Amino acid sequence: MTERFTAISFVASETPEAQAARVKLVERYGDADPAQAEVIVALGGDGLMLQTLHRFMGTGKPIYGMNRGSVGFLMNEFRERGLRQKLEAAHRSVVHPLTMTAADCNGKRVEARAINEVSLFRRSYQAAKLRISVDGQVRLSELVADGVLLATPAGSTAYNLSANGPILPLDAPLLALTPLSPFRPRRWRGALLPDHARVTIAVLEAEKRPVSAVADHTQIDNVISVQIAIDRSLDLVMLHDPGHSLDERILREQFGY
């Protein structure tokens, strides 16, 4: 059954191309207040899509992205005409964010959410030393590396793929745990975890080897421990044109060179 969207709100990145597209679309379709809008149309690249998903997290509003940026894996092709028909025909992709709870060396705890991945990075010339536990059991007593990340299926084609992590189908009940330039154990290439797993990463020698934790756009420096788990209470809805669903794009990515 198709959905009918009458109240559309437009958001755009700061690039001239995205701003010009927004002006044209607002002239043609109007611009509803985001609080009253039935759908949000995001004009830009994947960065804007992530920002928009975070901004409207918890509202249940679907996000339809159109590419007016440099990277548009999550975006649809830009078309000025026929937008309402495209929205009605679009397929829904539902993703759930990760919740990161990070504690720093001063005892401060920060909670943030990530749609793509939670990453830990070394902050000095020395490699990080990390201990990884899954559901309270230590699985890797010491990882010496530039860092490590935990990616959702939606984020598996982003930084995770660049770090040689696996691509996950969107509906796979899995998370990808991927090391960043591992030194020890040298042959460890990461793990696939059930998406109900709770992952705890402890920073060893934190003063000597400082580490930052990043959940999408939120960074916490000098962390000593990070807990990560998926939040199934939040449904994030993206709309994609038929034949260009996120499932299809993830599948296509595995055969593209």
31 catalytic? Reply is: no
Query: Any residues with CB less than 8 A from the CB of 170 and at least 6 apart, and which?
Result: 93, 95, 153, 154, 246, 247, 250
Does 117 appear as a known binding residue? yes
CB 118 within 8 A of CB 215: yes
Does 157 appear as a known binding residue? yes
Write down the catalytic residue from 33, 46, 104, 241. Answer: 46
Does 158 appear as a known binding residue? yes
Does 162 appear as a known binding residue? yes
Q: Return the residue matching tokens 């339809």.
A: 64
Does 116 appear as a known binding residue? yes
Query: Any residues with CB less than 8 A from the CB of 12 and at least 6 apart, and which?
Result: 18, 19, 21, 22, 42, 43, 44, 48, 68
Does 47 appear as a known binding residue? yes
What is the rounded distance in angstroms from the CA atom of residue 29 to the CA atom of residue 10?
Answer: 10
Ramachandran angles phi, psi of 49, nearest 5°: -60, -45
Does 154 appear as a known binding residue? yes
> Annotated binding site: which residue ranges?
46-47, 116-117, 146, 154, 157-162
Catalytic residue numbers read: 46
Q: Which residues are annotated as a binding site for NAD(+)?
A: 46-47, 116-117, 146, 154, 157-162
